Structure 1
């Protein structure tokens, strides 16, 4: 698991470096934003990353100059906001992470961000389809339930769609679910790993406490599930309109990138929850779904089923699948109606 002590420990850095590939280029599209900057920092600290390419519509060279002074071996370069800059940032990338977009403000849902962020993701996906079609694409930009299908449709239009290489980053839901249960049970959150399935917005987020041996009931269970589903709102309110969940999301994105790099570099049994093209609920119009996914050198190796759940969790899951089908359909319809230039 991605953790601060792993990032900063000299022994871990030496061990990781010994097993790292000669070239692991990671590209961040939206590197100067609220998520992009701390994400770039964490990636610079990761010895599995040999080259860090930072792109944004403004300030990417400055962020690269700043992050580039950190005393780890990877090279860092910031690219100008031009077509050539975007092309060069993407070319040769093993992982492309897309946190670009506008943040939520108080009272906004993820769907309120839809039109603006959909356009941004569509245009960046077009560039990735042209210049890094074989990379693992990690979508952070909300609403993930719709932006991942948008990205898939763009890659299909270029004839380069590989469902094993496209991921919606839902790791933050697991991070929150694990932290929140540790607060209730007074356990070490680093030892918690609550399974979360579904999507990445409100009622589509389904924590499966029963699979971790916990048994909350009544109002305590309702309150826990609500906090996991709407943890992002908690951060937006606490920041008083000045931002959304950027630091925790950056950590979650870095953790998922780390897992992909581990798997690509030969580590076995690397399992992370992620929103992918999934067979689990396709018969209900839900072409994408987040569940535990085993990662490997080719991206998705195995999609784990939901497994045994309680009646309470089944009701949550039924709602999630229905909402997800609508979110996915909305993304597909939007990109077909708005193909861009």
Structure 2
């Protein structure tokens, strides 16, 4: 018996994400919330022959609170999509307020839920959720996750392409650490389950890293102003949510990269590896019934990967501070 909630369920990510969660046989109740169209999406999905009962909610009549009541897993893809020429900083100005308000509702209605943040920019929106939870004295770092799975999915796909065999992509595993935007995305290709050829030239490796880091730009450009990475993000979000649900139901040994708060087991050791004091970082985390059980370290990394991490850290620190300040700084 698992109740999952999607906040922003009528959007470009929310609809396919809700569809994928409806097909998850472990989900017995699926609540969809958005400012428009959520009831229609819910009725559409309710015709699918899987166990989950689906209900859609709008803002009137405390719809958000009704959607969240009894929630065990809350996924947040709400927000505006990135358009051509728009940076994640531009996104922040719009999405920060949306995420703040949703986090407030979760803190007061479903404070024990696992919260999975997709809304960009994740590097800042996860700290926003944490600060709201702290204000309501319900913050549990084990239960808050920034979803960086799309970077892992892209790495698997693109490495398989470089190896010349796309059929390998489901089995290729590449740890991706750091954050979830541009240079903060650091694929650890040296730890790929399917190593790259030793004679691969540096320019090919650099291009591969760049494509993993800026794959979102590739999609925005290809859609020519009509959207961003919605379908692949929905797939990645559903993959991560499924692993959270499996851990919630008692499965052990699940390790996935996620952007998490470092004030928990393994966090201090990771900060020593990084050589930097910061509160959030995407790293492989071991999941359990209560959320994060342990944050794993980086392992053995190549010198070029250390350069990438060092380049990511200042960006991460600035993004984290932006999110924290958005909540902590009094508004005039």
TM-score range, shorter chain: over 0.9
Report the Cα offset of residue 334 of structure 1: 1.4
Looking at structure 1, the residues matched to 37 and 68 of structure 2 have their Cα atoms a distance apart, in angstroms, of: 17
Query: Does 132-141 or 276-285 show the bigger shift?
Result: 276-285
- Classify 1:56/1:203 alpha carbon distance in 2 versus 1 (closer, same or farther; 3 Å): same
Looking at structure 1, the residues matched to 225 and 58 of structure 2 have their Cα atoms a distance apart, in angstroms, of: 30
Looking at structure 2, the residues matched to 254 and 85 of structure 1 have their Cα atoms a distance apart, in angstroms, of: 23
Structure 1 unaligned blocks of 5 or more: 1-22
Q: Say yes or no: does 1:317 pair with 2:309.
A: yes
Looking at structure 1, the residues matched to 119 and 150 of structure 2 have their Cα atoms a distance apart, in angstroms, of: 13
Show the counterpart of 1:264: 248
Report the Cα offset of residue 230 of structure 1: 0.2
Show the counterpart of 2:42: 64
Looking at structure 2, the residues matched to 134 and 64 of structure 1 have their Cα atoms a distance apart, in angstroms, of: 24
Runs of 4+ residues deviating >4 angstroms: none
Looking at structure 2, the residues matched to 242 and 40 of structure 1 have their Cα atoms a distance apart, in angstroms, of: 21
Report the Cα offset of residue 218 of structure 1: 1.1
Looking at structure 1, the residues matched to 297 and 220 of structure 2 have their Cα atoms a distance apart, in angstroms, of: 33
Show the counterpart of 2:91: 113
Q: Say yes or no: does 1:36 pair with 2:14.
A: yes
* Pairing partner for 1:219 from 203, 207, 217: 203
Report the Cα offset of residue 338 of structure 1: 5.7
Show the counterpart of 2:215: 231
Q: Say yes or no: does 1:205 pair with 2:189.
A: no
Report if aligned partners of 1:284, 1:325 keep a CA contact under 8 Å in 2. Answer: no
Show the counterpart of 1:299: 291
* Residue pairs, 1:109-258, within 5 angstroms: 109-187=87-165, 188-212=168-192, 213-214=195-196, 215=198, 216-258=200-242
Report the Cα offset of residue 82 of structure 1: 2.7
Q: Say yes or no: does 1:329 pair with 2:324.
A: no
Q: Secondary structure of 2:279's partner?
A: strand
Looking at structure 2, the residues matched to 287 and 269 of structure 1 have their Cα atoms a distance apart, in angstroms, of: 25
Q: Secondary structure of 2:85's partner?
A: coil
Looking at structure 1, the residues matched to 169 and 120 of structure 2 have their Cα atoms a distance apart, in angstroms, of: 26
TM-score normalised to structure 1 length:
0.91
Structure 2 unaligned blocks of 5 or more: none
Looking at structure 2, the residues matched to 155 and 33 of structure 1 have their Cα atoms a distance apart, in angstroms, of: 25
Q: Say yes or no: does 1:46 pair with 2:36.
A: no
Q: Secondary structure of 2:158's partner?
A: helix
Report the Cα offset of residue 143 of structure 1: 0.3
Q: Secondary structure of 1:179's partner?
A: helix
- Classify 1:166/1:338 alpha carbon distance in 2 versus 1 (closer, same or farther; 3 Å): farther
Q: Secondary structure of 2:75's partner?
A: strand
Looking at structure 2, the residues matched to 298 and 52 of structure 1 have their Cα atoms a distance apart, in angstroms, of: 21
Report if aligned partners of 1:281, 1:289 keep a CA contact under 8 Å in 2. Answer: no
Note the alpha carbon deviations across 1:166-195, whole angstroms, 9 max, x for none.
Answer: 000000000000000001102310110111
Q: Secondary structure of 1:150's partner?
A: helix
- Classify 1:339/1:264 alpha carbon distance in 2 versus 1 (closer, same or farther; 3 Å): farther
Q: Secondary structure of 1:300's partner?
A: strand
Cα RMSD, aligned residues only: 1.3
